[in-house]
Amino acid sequence: MKLSLLTLLAMEALMTATLSATTLDERIDRAAAQVETKVIACRRDIHQNPELGNREFRTSKLVTDRLRELGIEMRTPIAHTGVVGILKGGKPGRVVALRADMDALPVTEQVDIPFASKARTKYNGQEVGVMHACGHDAHVAILLGVAEVLSTVRDQIPGTILFLFQPAEEGAPAGEEGGAALMVKEGALDNPKVDAVFGLHVTSRYPVGEIAYKPGAEMAAVDSFRIKVHGKQTHGAYPWLGVDPIVVASQIVLALQTIPSRQLDVSLAPSIVTVGAIHGGVRNNIIPDEVEMIGTIRSLDSKMRHQIHSRIKRTAQDIATSGGATADVSIEPGYPITYNDPKLTEQMAPTFRRLTNNVEVVNAVLGAEDFSFYQQKVPGVFFWLGTRPKNKTAEEAASNHSPLFYIDESGLLLGVRAMSHVAVDYLKK
Ligand SMILES: [Zn+2]
Ligand SMILES: [Zn+2]
């Protein structure tokens, strides 16, 4: 058999490529295994010192100190306490961003662990406990682990990796901007210009060792609404002399439930309208002047999201008119839909499957994530990392935001590997 020189050269190039690809993957896994203990220690340190949104001063310093040690270029502060680490690979290529959120919640920890949080602070004028009840401590520790892993293989990386350490995912304090929206506004994705973004969230819904994701709409858009029903105050015994806003408000509450259940195509996507508070009246025998209601809207389809907004207005106003009252409706947009770019998700699925046998494509949830603001600018994938102890069922394990939220730290290594490989595989494609 005679092979042309060109064929031989092509074969050699292919072999070298395969060889160096395997080597890079192996180097990443080896480096990840080596940082595992450090990642766990770092997570415990942050867990014991939780900070609320836009106040992540200590966490931010911990991040900048570590990135500086690793020789990673930085942009800080951004969006209050945020940090963008910039790791330039040894070869030219695209730019990929990896995100970790840094804030804790006003929750008093009840988990019995030696590094439980005892922190307390003032929140909305109230004295509260502070806890990493959403697992953002793990996200920061994982991403610092990834930064270390990738800096050890930077010579082989074809492109640039950005590490987005983001404040205030759970929302900024009243009157302040914050979170992913502010990171984007202050140019976190612009310089260098990011081509794709990835993020993960630890969860007790899935066991340790599992990665779960959903292409398309994965988490809901969240908007809040406020409805003020204006009636006319009168004696409780003579309602015909006034306009009863409590009865009108009650009709509105029930009618709002027919928007998701009767007016929208439920086969397309689920949605939720919840009235979370009603205030009106001061005394049993006085019909008040006014009732105020506040609530939340969750949707997984942007067209439906707008339909819900206009239908809430129509329902409240028309019911109020029918009772001789008026209704002012205001809707405050919150986070957009966390939308995993279907093509990018499909492209990255083999990476997930290579790392673990437990990869699941799951249903959407009606919780929300401000990671969605990055996905509005560039294609992105947000995935779940299981951290539920193996001896507990999903029903038994405390959910995120619970004072009993618990992370099985043996799941963190998979997070480091997943983020590292996802970034490098994206750049190699
Ligand atoms: Zn949360
Ligand atoms: Zn969270």
- pLDDT, residue 9, reads 63
The answer to whether 123 and 103 are in contact (CB under 8 A) is no
Task: Please give the full DSSP string across 96-123, using - where no structure is assigned.
Answer: EEEEEE---BS-------TT----EEEE
Q: Is residue 335 among the annotated active site residues? A: yes
Q: Exposed, middle or buried by CB within 10 Å (0-12, 13-18, 19+), for 429? A: exposed
Map residue 263 onto helix, strand or coil: helix
Task: Please give the full DSSP string across 307-357, using - where no structure is assigned.
Answer: HHHHHHHHHHHHHHHHTT-EEEEEEEE----EEE-HHHHHHHHHHHHHH-S
pLDDT in tens, 213-240: 999 999 999 999 999 999 999 999 999 9
Cβ-based neighbours of 100, under 8 Å, separated by 6 or more = 136, 139, 140, 142, 143, 163, 164, 165, 166, 199
pLDDT in tens, 142-176: 999 999 999 999 999 999 999 999 999 999 999 99
Q: How far is 415 from 31, CA to CA, in rounded Å? A: 13
pLDDT in tens, 289-308: 999 999 999 999 999 999 99
CA atoms within 13 A on the CB side of 364: 22
Q: Exposed, middle or buried by CB within 10 Å (0-12, 13-18, 19+), for 241? A: exposed
Centroid of ligand 1 to alpha carbon of 427 (angstroms): 30
The answer to whether 60 and 83 are in contact (CB under 8 A) is yes
- Single out the catalytic residue among 335, 339, 374, 426: 335
CA distances from 398 to 134, 197, 226, 401 (A): 11, 29, 31, 9
Centroid of ligand 1 to alpha carbon of 203 (angstroms): 10
Cβ-based neighbours of 237, under 8 Å, separated by 6 or more = 285
Ligand nearest to the CA of 171: 1
Centroid of ligand 2 to alpha carbon of 8 (angstroms): 52
Centroid of ligand 1 to alpha carbon of 151 (angstroms): 29
Which stretches in the chain have pLDDT values below 70?
1-22
Residue closest to 160 by CA, chosen among 78, 90, 77: 90
- pLDDT, residue 12, reads 62
Q: How far is 323 from 288, CA to CA, in rounded Å? A: 15
Centroid of ligand 2 to alpha carbon of 198 (angstroms): 15
Q: How far is 171 from 164, CA to CA, in rounded Å? A: 17
- Single out the catalytic residue among 109, 213, 409, 426: 409
- pLDDT, residue 8, reads 63
Centroid of ligand 2 to alpha carbon of 176 (angstroms): 19
> Cβ of 204: how many Cβ atoms within 10 Å?
23
pLDDT in tens, 112-141: 999 999 999 999 889 999 999 999 999 999
Q: What pTM was computed for the model?
A: 0.91
Centroid of ligand 2 to alpha carbon of 134 (angstroms): 5
Which DSSP symbol is given to 368? Answer: -
Mean pLDDT rounded to a whole number for the chain: 95
Tokens of 388: 């539920």
- pLDDT, residue 124, reads 87
The answer to whether 231 and 289 are in contact (CB under 8 A) is yes
- pLDDT, residue 3, reads 55
- pLDDT, residue 268, reads 94
Residue closest to 171 by CA, chosen among 370, 396, 399, 403: 370
Centroid of ligand 2 to alpha carbon of 327 (angstroms): 35
> At which residue do the structure tokens 């028309």 appear?
318
Centroid of ligand 1 to alpha carbon of 140 (angstroms): 14
Ligand nearest to the CA of 402: 1
Task: Please give the full DSSP string across 400-412, using - where no structure is assigned.
Answer: TTSTT----GGGH
Map residue 167 onto helix, strand or coil: coil
Peptide bond into 270 cis (omega under 30): no
